Structure 1
């Protein structure tokens, strides 16, 4: 989608909304003998035991489900147990899929809630390999596979947790990164709560240290990591509001950003969290991303002229957008999005200059609908005259004057 380069390119984070369950399979370590529970039934029983152990904090009971607690895989699973406990898992259920015919593969959808963070269940998928032992079926390994999101304790079994009043930051990134990330959340979230009434009291931020961990958390191929600086994702309830968004920081982008860039990226994502929790549905992408940039860049401590340099160059060479950026133009598949995102930010800045901050909040409320991008654009067209005192054409003229002022 975009490679962040310092504060001027810091907020190309993209939201991903994932409410459904993933699906993942891994081959079992052995076949059941006659009269023995097949792997799917055995895994169902084993996962029930493991869930009870996690919720009760019973490490010995969890270890009893392992084929070999002393093996590398066994030690990794015990670290996953400790990570789930550190995260505060308070509800944990599963659903085992029937193995595809002739493969012996087993998969399980895991549904869970984290204490203080979730208003509804999150879903993830884990693949298991079982082994037949003298004690019966046991779990030989659990792991994530590229393309399907895994729970944090499986993706990052060695994670540490940094907690604050508003922040729960978990990850394998250096402790200093976890502390700095938590400090940004503690600073930014109270202000967002004043503007957006259903902003969560606490937000989960995941800070993986490797591309493989980030890919597992997001259900991406490892090669896709680094395209965006951060991702906000989470389930959506029946009313169209997010029920527990989490922010996943990109480890490759983190290593290229300045301290100011880190703050901008995370504040941008927290704006998404606040709006998604408060308003049903979604606004047009230019408005959602432009507003998040408006909030995020307020933390930049960098002059707007420096931040807007790529857009100014595009204006000078005639490649700047001629209209308000469309959803397609702000999609990662479009390539480098830096100029498009800066242009969307300037549309929102034009709206703020014309009608004020409260008017932009009201525009977001009226433009956020559950019918998709086209419906959201229609809602915006209907709302603009009353909210901004002009229609889309008038806002576009204001915006183009701002762009013209950027030219040297």
Structure 2
């Protein structure tokens, strides 16, 4: 993974459009078979077409103007409502769906076996969220640890602030993570402690066209003769990516929205209006290039709680500081546990340490990440990395007045041996620069429409030569040669 930044010599992009075209109707996201790598760093190699995997890039800090991209920690969902940023507070809504929750149902007899009892507990918990009943939400929580009870109170309050149209919990009794039970709980409950996978299904009003599924691994144990929620598993590398990284996890939040963005922020610790304004402008820039084919709205998580962001780096905790943000695709099933995952939505989550960057920097980062979200429905594990990242940079800098002398300086010593299609792309930050130039060259020589068609061509094949030949009418080798010559001209 890259640990450097976009060269400072690349000039800033011009001011972005302030809004979308009034009245534009953004279509819903198309559906396709989808998969998901085990973590944000897994190479983009799959055996079947898949939806867009997470993209991880370095932060826009240090004395440089050209940051590599942002990806995960804020949940900004773009809503279709009009008007400026408005505090949602305890969002007033009609909850339309109580999603599948375990094996029990409201009013059903108490289950006699462990898994049945846990299913009933989860059912009660999901019903309590939809019914805004804190007492019922806490009824199955172990009361012996005040810190644990306080955390549950915060989670409940956070869930009530989210504009949910669906919420539910489903037990996966065959997904045991007992090795991840915290030592204190293991010491207290011994082998009775049970860490088990649970799918949390939720839907954000105005953003999601269907519920999305995320993982949770709670710890249950018998307390006073009945199964009780006593804690949560982790941290542990065996846990599914995203455990602990949801918008309700962590500290108290506030939820605010603008016309096309819904954002989750730390309560009282930031100025959400600034990020919402930047996000709207960034979406406008993306809409110029990609006005259709995606939902046109974004859900962003921008909290100051580092644990929420760190949840996506279980296998590589040392890389957290190298990443400004991540764009995380979500599916109708938890990717680790599902057999027929279907892409549903993309979340953008910020590194808390990057929230204080200057507005121009954040604006470019948002444009880059929102481009990933816009292209997610047509991105597969076969889409070459140079094209995924280069296209996001292309949109971010589209229309910018690039100073040739600065570009020439930035290209000094940069390799153009090949356009990299896999994980090795991230080994060298300059690949973002050369990937951007490849996309800019294709747009100039063949048209922006052809560039987009090339991007869309990898939904059913990984054969770069075949797709390039079909769309551009030349071989991959010829494209690489033209790109090399194009970069050489920028150096001249």
- Output the TM-score relative to the length of structure 2: 0.66
1:125 aligns with 2:215: yes
Greater helix share, structure number: 1
Q: Which of residues 94, 108, 127 is equivalent to 1:52?
A: 127
Is 1:66 matched up with 2:145?
no
> 1:379 pairs with 458, 463, 467, which one?
467
Q: Does 1:215 align with 2:310?
A: yes
Task: State the distance in 2 between where 1:249 and 1:300 align.
Answer: 25
Instruction: Between 136-145 and 106-115, report the one with greater CA deviation.
Output: 136-145
Aligned partner of 2:383 among 271, 279, 283:
283
In 2, the alpha carbon distance for the partners of 1:300 and 1:209 equals 32
- Distance 1:202-1:304 versus aligned 2 partners, 3 A rule: farther
Distance 1:188 1:304, change over 3 A: farther
User: What TM-score do you get using the length of structure 1 for normalisation?
Assistant: 0.78
Q: Deviations over 1:67-121 (max 9, x none)?
A: 2298111111111112122222323231232557957422123233222222344
Inter-partner Cα distance in structure 2 for 1:263 and 1:299:
15
For 1:399, the equivalent position in structure 2 comes to 483
SS at match of 2:395: helix
Q: In structure 2, what is the Cα distance between the partners aligned to 1:364 and 1:176?
A: 37
Question: What's the counterpart of residue 105 of structure 1?
Answer: 194
Map 1:233-382; keep pairs closer than 5 Å. 233-236=328-331, 242-254=343-355, 257-277=357-377, 283-298=383-398, 303=403, 306=406, 309-310=409-410, 312-315=411-414, 320-331=415-426, 334=427, 337-365=428-456, 367-371=457-461, 374-376=462-464, 378-382=466-470
Of 275, 283, 293, 1:189 maps to 283
SS state of the match for residue 294, structure 2? Answer: coil
2-structure distance, mates of 1:207, 1:290: 25
For structure 1, the residue ranges without an aligned partner over 5 or more in a row are 17-35
- Provide the secondary structure at the position in 1 that maps to 2:321: coil
What per-residue deviation string (whole Å, max 9, x for no partner) do you get for residues 203-234 of structure 1?
A: 11112324422122565553331232221112
2:229 corresponds, among 139, 155, 167, to 139
Q: Secondary structure of the equivalent of 1:321? A: coil
SS in structure 2 opposite 1:111? strand
Distance 1:140 1:301, change over 3 A: farther
Gap change, CA 1:122 and 1:298, over 3 Å in 2: same
Q: Deviations over 1:158-186 (max 9, x none)?
A: 22222111111113387545332222221
Q: 1:262 to 1:243 in 2, by over 3 A?
A: same
Rate the CA distance shift 1:104–1:236 in 2: closer, same or farther, 3 A. Answer: closer
Report how far residue 236 of structure 1 moved. 5.0
Q: For 1:296 and 1:168, how far apart are their aligned partners in 2? A: 21
Give 1:190 deviation, angstroms.
Answer: 4.1
The offset of 1:132, in angstroms, is 4.0
Q: Secondary structure at the match of 1:314?
A: coil
Aligned equivalents of 2:141, 2:267: Cα separation in 1: 28
Shift of 1:196: 4.2
Q: Is the 8 A contact 1:200 1:277 kept in 2?
A: no
Among 132, 142, 151, which residue is 1:76 paired with? 151
1:172-183 superposed matches below 5 A? 172=266, 176=270, 178-183=272-277
CA–CA distance in structure 2, aligned partners of residues 230 and 139 of structure 1: 32
Count of equivalent residues: 373
**Deviations, residues 41-78 of structure 1 (Å, cap 9, x unaligned):** 43322211110011121122212222229811111111
Q: Give the whole-Å Cα distance in 1 for the aligned partners of 2:344 and 2:128.
A: 26
Q: Structure 1 residues 377, 155: closer, same or farther in 2, change over 3 A?
A: farther
Q: Report the Cα distance in structure 2 between the residues aligned to 1:239 and 1:369, rounded to whole angstroms.
A: 17
- Pair 1:204 & 2:276 matched: no
Cα distance, 1:348 vs. partner?
Answer: 0.6
Secondary structure at 1:8 match in 2? coil
Greater displacement, 392-401 / 288-297: 392-401
Partners of 2:220 and 2:314 in 1: how far apart?
Answer: 23
Change (3 A) 1:130 1:105: closer
Contact 2:329/2:343, CA 8 A, preserved across alignment: yes
- Distance, in Å, in 1 between the alignment partners of 2:144 and 2:408 is 55
Identify the residue that residue 170 of structure 2 maps to in structure 1: 94
Q: What does residue 68 of structure 2 align with?
A: 11
Deviation at 1:244, TM superposition (A): 0.6
Q: Could you say what the CA RMSD is over the residues aligned between the two structures, in angstroms? A: 3.5
Counterpart-to-counterpart distance in 2, 1:306 and 1:175: 37
Residues in 2 aligned to 1:125 and 1:175: alpha-carbon distance in whole angstroms: 27
Secondary structure, in 3 states, of the residue corresponding to 1:273?
helix
Distance 1:401 1:362 in 2: 23
**1:283/1:100 Cα in 2 relative to 1: closer, same or farther (>3 Å)?**
closer
